[in-house]
Structure 1
Amino acid sequence: MKRIALLMVLALSLYSCETDDDGPNLNFAIAEITGTDLPEYFEIGESYDLEVAYELPNACHKFSNFSVNQYIAEETDSTFVIEIAALTSYDANITDCTEEGELTDSRTITDLRITSEDYNNYQFKLLTGEDEDGEAEFLIIDVPVGEPGPTTPQENTNT
């Protein structure tokens, strides 16, 4: 009787450890950011919506969200840096992507508030991909705080 009970427990435990899982295997990747609609300058006390354009790796990828990292620049404490990456999700069980779909799209990052007078410049580092060494590559755009003054041509002092 003990042997039968032991065989039944063993059979049930082997049955419950079945590894055939046909469900989705969700993974994440990075989409190449191709541009944004940043203004010429920011005004203190204003709020901005930024449209960010990106290109998916292939049509099986779906936009997931933006990853945003913010910090003060090491070189100068008057520059505030905002790194933005576009994350996608895809099912790793699909080895041959035959889905049709648009690879370029854009999403809006809403309500970027410029509230501090501590920064003269906002630097946006938009992740475009990786180089052959696996190092991140960025599209870097600087946006000054406050309307830039009028530019005057340089005087020619070589006369």
Structure 2
Amino acid sequence: MKRILLILACICTLTGCSLDDDGASLSFSLAEITDAQMPEYFETGEVYSFPISYIPDDGCEQFYGFDIDREINGNVRHVYVFAVTAKYLDRTNCDDATEQERDLRDIVITGDENTEYVFHFWTGEENNEAQYIDITIPVGEPDETEEPTQE
């Protein structure tokens, strides 16, 4: 009985709130990442920042930030990077979208020489499946590592 009263109280509270808001509403979306300037290798314990180029859907969208997901699989660290843009819904007079660049900052490297980082930069969707630019960066010294690979 207490659960039913609690559910009814929640329903009354939610229906009592007004959704009419005269303020501007924001819409968030993902922008296609077109390029990332990555180092040839990482050093353990170092902090890195690097430029990433992206294209918003239209000229009204402004950069909001990067969304990053991480996944560790043994000695491989996967880093998924998404460029997030925001747009006020009441803006309609927009210019064409142009490629822009922002720095992805403060990436801390935690692996040892046997570790590699695979960065997956979101470029869009095809057949309801996410598409990425994949760049692999080894952790080590300059003479011990190979060039980063891009797929």
Classify 1:142/1:23 alpha carbon distance in 2 versus 1 (closer, same or farther; 3 Å). same
Q: Which runs of 5+ in 1 are unaligned?
A: 1-16, 152-159
The equivalences for 1:81-96 within 5 A come to 81-94=78-91
RMSD: 2.4
Q: Could you say which residue in structure 2 is the equivalent of 1:6?
A: none
Aligned residues: 128
- TM-score, normalised by the number of residues in structure 2: 0.74
1:156 corresponds in structure 2 to none
The residue number in structure 2 matching 1:109 is: 104
- The 4+ residue runs of structure 1 with deviation greater than 6 A are none
Which residue does the alignment assign to 1:138? Answer: 132
In structure 2, the residue matched to 1:43 is 43
Bigger share in strand: 2
Q: How far is 1:100 from its partner? A: 2.9
- In structure 2, C-alpha distance between the alignment counterparts of 1:53 and 1:71, rounded to whole Å: 23
Q: Contact between 2:75 and 2:111, CA under 8 Å: does it hold in 1?
A: no
Task: Kindly provide the amino acid, as one letter, of the partner of residue 128 in structure 1.
Answer: T
The answer on whether the counterparts of 1:127 and 1:139 sit within 8 Å (CA) in structure 2 is yes
Looking at structure 2, the residues matched to 18 and 113 of structure 1 have their Cα atoms a distance apart, in angstroms, of: 42
In 1, distance between residues paired with 2:38 and 2:65?
19
Local SS of the residue matching 1:107 = strand
Q: What is the distance in 1 between the residues matched to 2:51 and 2:44?
A: 20
One-letter code of the match for 1:143?
I
State the shift of 1:22 in Å: 4.7
Q: 1:78-99: per-residue Cα shift (whole Å, max 9, x none)?
A: 11010000001112344xx432
| Residues 121/98 of structure 1: CA separation in 2 closer, same or farther (3 Å cut) | same
Distance 1:91 1:43, change over 3 A: same
CA deviation after TM superposition for structure 1 residue 112, in Å: 1.5
CA contact (8 A) 1:51 1:106 kept: yes
Structure 2, unaligned stretches of length 5 or more?
Answer: 1-17, 147-151
